[in-house]
Amino acid sequence: MSSGNGCQPQALTKPALGEQEAAELVHRVFGLKVSWIGPLPSYDDQNFHVRVSRDTDAAGGADEYVLKITNSEDSCKPDLIEAQTRAMMFLSAEGFPSATPRLTKRGTIMSLESASGCGSKKYMVRLLTYLPGTPVAKIATNAQICYEIGKLAARLDKALSEKFHHPSAKSLHRGQFIWNLANVPLLDQYIYALGQNKYREVVEQVIEQFKGKVVPKLSSFRACINHGDLNDHNILVDSSSASAQHPEYRVSGVLDFSDMSYGCYVFEVAIAIMYMMIESPDPLGVGGHVLAGFESVLPLTGEERAALFLLVCGRFAQSLVLAAHTALLYPENQEYLMVTARTGWKHLMKMFELGQEAVERTWFETAQAYVTPHRPR
């Protein structure tokens, strides 16, 4: 993670509040009485699913929320957190299934709070509406939902880039942000976490090819604001079909805007392809369906398409290397951190084994089938 706004980088920045302390925080900051609270998984923030007593909510509002306690490093960047939150509010107003913040008792969208047992550290706290639905990670993905996710990725970035003009948006220029897909070369400083093995050798090849083939082309890619983390846990769906064998899904929620930054449209489709590969029974096939959905809104240029293979490999490298690095810092959170690694290494190795030409042929032919009607023989 990057640091800024005068805060010194710290090795351990993830909050570690207990449920009772989190419930007291909700009451103190937002004036709501918690009737039930439970932890939610998170990479480096701390999240709780919260239900509140209706009779304490005199101002009206939801019954369920997500209490989001931002890590102490990002909590030093109020402009960045405001940009993320304002973007969520903007998207909700535009009809996207995005959470919105519950205002504090002072009428603000967030509050910097101390936590007992955490020394002098302070954490930015928000209470966001709870979005119903099932994470994509828990369903059997099919072509239809992959297409819808690709379409969502393009529509979301397009709306943010063309219509989101809040003053805080300038904070989304995060030059050294490690999760921005332009910054795959920065993985060099974290690669030690992999040890010495065949996986490290492949990641080193990805980084070197990225430096040589993608970095020189970055200025030619169309710029935009990226959500940056449309993974299988951050997209919620519900089924609009009664058929158990052939369910049709619709996206019911988009979560976690903490990786937002200025990037490129092609980054978002690459990120979506990579994460949809993780849970798919046909990992190499899903890329074409995601790409078709994305290009139904925003066709890629020739140079953007030519970079797609290495951008997907680059995102695999980011996810796998940074998960290994973070697991060394937070061994108690290793199970969640290593979710992608369970199948991610297999997919990355397979992509490299097949090679760019073969993988692209599969993706591009699948995408083309959406726009070229099948002719009878």
237 three-state secondary structure:
strand
Q: Are 266 and 300 in contact (CB under 8 A)?
A: yes
Judging by beta carbons within 10 Å of its beta carbon (0-12, 13-18, 19+), is residue 216 exposed, middle or buried? exposed
Active site residue 44: no
67 three-state secondary structure:
strand
**Beta partners for residue 135, in sequence order:** 236
Secondary element (H or E) of residue 291: helix 286-295
Distance CA 328, CA 346 (A): 22
- One of 44, 45, 74, 229 is an active-site residue; which one? 229
Q: Could you tell me which residues come within 8 angstroms of residue 148 by beta carbon, excluding any fewer than 6 positions away?
A: 249, 250, 251, 293
Distance CA 192, CA 182 (A): 21
| Pair of tokens at residue 293 | 């959905």
Distance CA 111, CA 57 (A): 19
Distance CA 257, CA 246 (A): 31
Q: Are 63 and 54 in contact (CB under 8 A)?
A: yes
**Beta partners for residue 36, in sequence order:** 51
Owner of token pair 């392809």? 273
Question: Which residue in 65, 81, 75, 55 sits closest to 23, CA to CA?
Answer: 65
**DSSP strand E in 216-371: where?**
223-226, 235-239, 249-254, 261-264
Count of CA atoms in the C-beta half-sphere (13 A) of 329: 15
Owner of token pair 């570690």? 16
| Residues annotated catalytic, as ranges | 229
